[in-house]
Amino acid sequence: MPKHADLKTGPGHVAIIMDGNGRWAQQRNRPRLFGHHAGARRVREIVAACPDLGVKYLTIFAFSTENWKRTQTEVAGLMSLFRKYIEREAKALLKNGVRVRFIGDRIRLDVKLVRLMDELELLTADNDLVHLTIAINYGGRDEVTRAAKRLAYEVEMGRLTHNDVDAETLSRFLDTRVLPDPDLVIRTSGEARISNFLLWQSAYSEYEFVDTLWPDFTAVEFARVLSSYGRRERRFGAVLA
């Protein structure tokens, strides 16, 4: 496994938009779900690579609030894949020191899937080597809307006043409130858009758009992207001397 050239300058939190599973399958004359299964196997490799590459937090975009627009067959297949992934990977994630969290609105998800998600979060709660966050039925606008509703309720109940409402306060109501903001956001497959992913949290993140389809995104390429990040100068709106 290649190691990051300089862990001190590498990103501690990487978020990935895992794009290209369907096209990868179509290139092989296979159904789209074949690509999603290949993509799930790639997740295992990237998670395993994180400790050697200095990545403490990894957040992956598994299913967006807009993905319900896909065919019923594909959506059902993805939900089944999520259940199987949790059942298959739970023991390995626990053993390898990975803490798992899920973000997104769970109301629309299957009851069995939600139960498995809850159980995996509880099972891995004491792990601290890698923090893996999986976004399912997640959308950045939806997250901020839900946070604003919870914040408005606190004001309505008198526990906060309108003068208490600022960016820091709103952040405490987001799904990611216990996580640091991502240092680097990667999107695979050559598409150069953020697709409603971590809109609030990525305000000052660096972005890397790579042409590789997600099932072909190896740990070697992951290490290369991280090395590229280490050569960037992050200013956060300031002018550095």
196-223 residue pLDDT tens: 999 999 999 999 999 999 999 999 999 9
Residue 236 belongs to a domain = no
| CATH number of residue 81's parent domain | 3.40.1180.10
The answer to whether 21 is a known catalytic residue is no
Please tell me the total count of domains within the chain: 1
Residue 106 belongs to a domain = yes
140-187 residue pLDDT tens: 999 999 999 999 999 999 999 999 999 999 999 999 999 999 999 999
| SS3 of the chain | CCCCCCHHHCCCEEEEECCCHHHHHHCCCCCHHHHHHHHHHHHHHHHHHHHHHCCCEEEEEEEECCHHHCCHHHHHHHHHHHHHHHHHHHHHHHHCCEEEEEECCCCCCCHHHHHHHHHHHHHCCCCCCEEEEEEEEECHHHHHHHHHHHHHHHHHCCCCCHHHCCHHHHHCCCCCCCCCCCCEEEECCCCCCCCCCCCCCCCCCEEEECCCCHHHCCHHHHHHHHHHHCCCCCCCCCCCC
User: Which of the four pLDDT bands, split at 50, 70 and 90, describes residue 10?
Assistant: confident
Residue 146 belongs to a domain = no
Which pTM was predicted?
A: 0.92
User: Which of the four pLDDT bands, split at 50, 70 and 90, describes residue 3?
Assistant: very low
Q: What is the pLDDT of residue 185?
A: 98
Q: Which of 19, 142, 175, 183 is catalytic?
A: 19
Residue 169 belongs to a domain = no
Q: State yes or no: pLDDT of 230 exceeds 90.
A: no
The answer to whether 19 is a known catalytic residue is yes
Q: What domain range is 108 assigned to?
A: 11-140+183-228
Residue 188 belongs to a domain = yes
Residue 241 belongs to a domain = no
Residue 176 belongs to a domain = no
Residue 160 belongs to a domain = no
User: Which of the four pLDDT bands, split at 50, 70 and 90, describes residue 1?
Assistant: very low
Residues 64-88 have a mean pLDDT of 97
Q: Which of 52, 67, 105, 216 is catalytic?
A: 67
How many Å apart are CA 111 and CA 185, to the nearest integer? 31
